[in-house]
């Protein structure tokens, strides 16, 4: 696949001024994120979580780029929702990485991990696994997000 086709954004015309490109570009990245949200909610595994985090990060970067083109109140609300969601997903991913690394160390040294540590990680992971779907639904249902990508 050529890079031009890979990075093409539907409904984006070459002759538009920068601020007029905000809606199609943000809608494009929101759509990609929506697919990752759907995949994650369908199967909550590490790979889908990682893909969702990447898509959310890309959406956030594009949102930051278009900050001057977005109404201030709308930008603030969507940006804060995005950052909050990114932090929660990051914390959840960190637990998976930490468990894997601790497991490697345990196997390498032959020392069992203290049950309290694993219990603490498992408890926090379960809390986040309950919180994440609610936060994703809140993000997807937010009126300011919809206005941002469809205005």
Non-local CB neighbours of 73 within 8 Å, separated by 6+ positions: 144
pLDDT value at position 40?
96
| DSSP conformation class of 124 | H
Q: Model confidence at 35, in pLDDT bands (50, 70, 90)?
A: very high
Closest CA to 56 of 138, 141, 136: 136
CB atoms within 10 A of CB 64: 11
pLDDT value at position 94?
95
**Alpha helices (H) in the chain, listed in sequence order:** 3-6, 22-42, 46-65, 72-109, 115-141, 143-150
47-73 tens-digit pLDDT: 999 999 999 999 999 999 998 889 999
Task: Calculate the average pLDDT of the chain.
Answer: 91
Q: Measure the CA–CA gap between 56 and 32, rounded to whole angstroms.
A: 9
pLDDT value at position 151?
62
CB atoms within 10 A of CB 59: 25
Predicted TM-score of the model (pTM): 0.85
Three-state DSSP at 19 gives: helix
Q: Measure the CA–CA gap between 56 and 93, rounded to whole angstroms.
A: 14
112-151 tens-digit pLDDT: 888 899 999 999 999 999 999 999 999 999 999 999 998 6
pLDDT value at position 3?
58
């Amino acid at each position: 696949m050529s890079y031009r086709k890979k990075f093409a954004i539907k409904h984006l015309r070459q002759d538009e001024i920068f601020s007029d490109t905000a809606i199609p570009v943000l809608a494009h990245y929101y759509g990609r994120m929506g697919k990752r949200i759907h995949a994650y909610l369908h199967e909550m595994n590490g790979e889908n979580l990682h893909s969702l985090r990447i898509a959310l990060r890309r959406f956030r970067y594009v949102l930051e780029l278009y900050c001057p083109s977005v109404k201030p109140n709308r930008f603030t609300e969507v940006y804060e929702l995005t950052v909050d969601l990114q932090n929660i997903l990051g914390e959840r991913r960190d637990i998976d990485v930490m468990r894997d690394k601790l497991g490697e160390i345990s196997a390498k040294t032959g020392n069992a991990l203290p049950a309290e540590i694993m219990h603490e990680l498992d408890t926090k992971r379960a809390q986040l696994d309950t919180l994440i779907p609610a936060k994703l639904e809140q993000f997807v249902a937010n009126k300011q997000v919809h206005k941002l990508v469809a205005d």
